[in-house]
Each structure stands twice: as C-alpha cells, then as structure tokens.
Structure 1
Amino acid sequence: MATYSELMAQAQALMSQAEQARKNELAAAIADIKAKMKEYGITVTDLGGAAAGAKKAAKSKSKAVAKYRGPNGELWAGGPGRKPEWVRAVLAAGKSLEDYRI
C-alpha cells in the first residue's frame, strides 16, 4: 500500500498534468475561434464584447441626479471633472449638449 506522501506526490503530478492539458486545450480552442472569426469576418463587438484593449466602463459612484442621456442611454449628471467619452464625442461633432438634456 502506498504511503500518504507518495499518494500526495502522485496527486500533485496528476494536477500538474491536468493543468497543462487544460492550457493546451484552451490554446487550441482560442486558435479555432480566432480562425473562424477571421473566416467569417466576425469581430469582438459582433459577439457583444468590448473592442480589444477597451476598458470596461466604471460604475458611477456619483449620487447626483442625471441631467443628460447619451445616444446609447448613458447617463451623466454634468458635474465637475472629466467628461464621459460620449459627451466629448458629441461636443467634438459640433452638437449641442442641450439636445441630450433629460
């Protein structure tokens, strides 16, 4: 009969093998998905995700009531600090922020 330490060593070796197999299968799956995306012209945005390298939108910590609603339903209270990207895009396009007032 094997000792506890021998069994633990075997278990660790199996876990290491299992992790390596998982990494190999994951890499193969990712390569297959990328190939199919390229073949069919699918983008990450088409799949409902953010574009590569894009940061996830941070949840607003503001307790202020929203005064403006963006073109995609984004809300902004119009307070001090950095303006949201949608506000900067609207202003850069020469549009009036008043058109987006709630």
Structure 2
Amino acid sequence: MTSYAEYVEQIAKLQSLAEAARKDELSGAIQKIKELMQLHGITVEDLAAGGRAKPAKAKGSVAAQFKNPETGDTWTGRGRAPRWLDGKDKEQFRIAN
C-alpha cells in the first residue's frame, strides 16, 4: 500500500513535469504570435492601442413632444402612443418649442 508521503512525492514530481510542459508550450505559443505579428506588421503599440474599451455613452433623457392638456401627462413620441392619444390627431397635442 502506498503511503501519504509517497503520494506527496508523486504529486510534487507531476507538478514539476506539468510546469515544464506549460513553459514549453508557452514558449512555442509566444514564438507563433511573434511570427504572426511580424508577418502582418503588427507592433506591441498596435496591440496596446487597440485593446482599450470605449467608455459607455450616458443616455440622456428625451424631451416630451406631446402633452395632454386635461391631465398634464406627456409623451416623448417614442414607443407606443398613450391611450389619451387613441383616435386623435397627435399634432393638436404637440408641445410648442
């Protein structure tokens, strides 16, 4: 039967083998990347400049375009028309600028 110490020793050996394999694969991947960058004329500065995310634009509120004179309700003209405009000419409710 294998002892705990032997398992720990095996784990350490496997971890060192795994790390060596990772370094080999990593150096190969880096070499491929360098070759592709050279082939396409890409510099490190190109990579740094292209990776920045643009800040999100703040969504502003939209001014009301129509107003119900009886209740004071307003509508921006976007989306579904409110019930108080059903069957009516919306231009008569337009807010003058």
**TM-score (structure 1 length as normaliser):** 0.46
Larger Rg: 2
**TM-score (structure 2 length as normaliser):** 0.49
